[in-house]
Amino acid sequence: MKTASIILPTYNEKDNIIELISRILEHVEGGKEIIVIDDDSPDGTAANVQSTYRDETSVRLIVRKGEKGLTSAIQRGIAESRGDVIVWMDCDLSMPPEKINDLLHAVQADNCDAAVGSRYVKGGSDVRTDSGKALLFLHTALSYIITRFASLMLWPGFRDWTSGFIAVKSGVIKPIRLKGDYGEYFIDMMYRILKGGFKVREVPYSLVPRKRGQSKTATNILGFISRGVKYIGTIFRLKLGL
């Protein structure tokens, strides 16, 4: 069984990170290392990880000072990874860590180069629309529209362009330099993986609302519009080969 490196980029996730790591340790099969990349969270996320898993050799903590951002945190995690397969996901418990097994199975047993957790294939869903929160509903709707547009413009056979939940072979992802902020990096990365001829499978999962902590997504309509413009700009840049 190959080793998986599971990257957890954190900022102010003290209330979620211990449960997430515990569930990964309990449920994810095979050899694994967990790499927490924390952007010096003021809420004590790093200290919580360090004190809880001080004697757990499979958990590594890296605290970045003077550097922030999801994309660069994932890039750091990729550079630090030692596993044959690299996984990353959000750390707010909106993505079920038990589903990592399905992603790893697609890569390791079915010989895919990358497996993406997908809300938009049969069996997947985004249940955040059930929360009754208008901004969350708007974010979910925007994500769906953007992903449909990206499929139309870039690669009709691929559905979840803003997933952020992936297992990918180390040899495939390490040569790729991630570009863009937040969700744009995933659009750019997946297009390059697909265009490179690598075998990709989408694995269904259900995205749920975070229960604890503050969301890192835009918190008002202008923020959603600004993010949507960046997504569309990335799609057009890739379409035009820029």
**Rounded mean pLDDT of 92-98?**
96
What's the distance, CA 13 to chain centroid? Answer: 15
The per-residue pLDDT for 212 is: 76
Euclidean distance between CA atoms 121 and 118, whole angstroms: 6
pLDDT in tens, 43-89: 999 999 999 999 999 999 999 998 999 999 999 999 999 999 999 99
Superfamily grouping for domain 4-127+160-210? Spore Coat Polysaccharide Biosynthesis Protein SpsA; Chain A (3.90.550.10)
The 10s digit of each residue's pLDDT in 223-239 is 667 788 889 999 999 99
Tell me the pLDDT band of 221, cut-offs 50, 70 and 90: low
Domain ranges of the chain: 4-127+160-210
**For residues 137 and 131, which has the higher predicted lDDT (pLDDT)?**
137
pTM above threshold 0.95 = no
- Assess whether pLDDT exceeds 90 at residue 171: yes
| The Cα angle at residue 241 between residues 235 and 242, in degrees rounded to 5 | 85
Which pair of structure tokens corresponds to residue 222? Answer: 């202008």
